[in-house]
């Protein structure tokens, strides 16, 4: 993790090395790290609303396929990231893939209850 923090979040890495307390609660005050962490979840939430329309129009097979491809593209962008902006873009695309996959999964679970 040190290499990742040094490359993308050097201020957080510096804070981590300076902090000697054992308290794990709110150790870092970094808006950028918060945006990085939350971007996947927010993108998944928003994408799940659009995924229901796509699932209705094209079926769950194509929704799952599209979600999987989107997830792989996001993972490739994250693996090749050279900047925080590229890292955030990859996380957002990952979130879209997660949103599509989780929406279809929720839809399948609701069918099983009927």
Cα(14)–Cα(6) distance, integer angstroms: 8
Task: Say if 7 falls within a structural domain.
Answer: no
3-state SS of the chain is: CHHHHHHHCHHHHHHHHHCCCCCCCCCCCCHHHHHHHHHHHHHHHHHHHHHHHHHHHHCHHHHHHHHHHHHHHHHHHHHCCCCHHHHHHHHHHHHHHHHHHHHHHHHHHHHHHC
Which structural domain, as residue segments, surrounds residue 64? Answer: 35-114
User: Residue 27 has what pLDDT?
Assistant: 65
Task: Say if 26 falls within a structural domain.
Answer: no
Total structural domains within the chain? 1
Output the six-digit token pair for 108. 């399948």
Digit-coded pLDDT (tens) for 8-59:
777 777 777 777 666 666 666 777 888 888 999 999 999 988 888 888 888 8
Task: Say if 29 falls within a structural domain.
Answer: no
Task: Say if 23 falls within a structural domain.
Answer: no
- Name, in order, each residue with C-beta under 8 angstroms of 8's C-beta and a sequence gap of 6 or more: 36, 81, 83, 84, 87
User: Residue 2 has what pLDDT?
Assistant: 74
Output the six-digit token pair for 81. 């990231």
Digit-coded pLDDT (tens) for 53-99:
888 888 888 888 999 999 999 999 999 999 989 999 999 999 999 99
Task: Say if 112 falls within a structural domain.
Answer: yes
């Amino acid at each position: 993790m040190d290499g990742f923090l040094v490359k993308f979040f050097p201020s957080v890495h510096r804070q981590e090395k300076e902090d000697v307390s054992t308290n794990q609660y709110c150790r870092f005050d970094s808006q950028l790290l918060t945006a990085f962490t939350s971007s996947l979840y927010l993108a998944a939430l928003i994408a799940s609303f659009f995924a229901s329309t796509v699932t209705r129009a094209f079926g769950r097979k194509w929704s799952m396929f599209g979600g999987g491809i989107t997830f792989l593209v996001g993972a490739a962008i994250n693996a090749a990231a050279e900047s925080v902006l590229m890292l955030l873009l990859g996380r957002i695309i990952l979130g879209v893939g997660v949103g599509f996959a989780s929406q279809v999964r929720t839809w399948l679970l609701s069918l099983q209850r009927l």
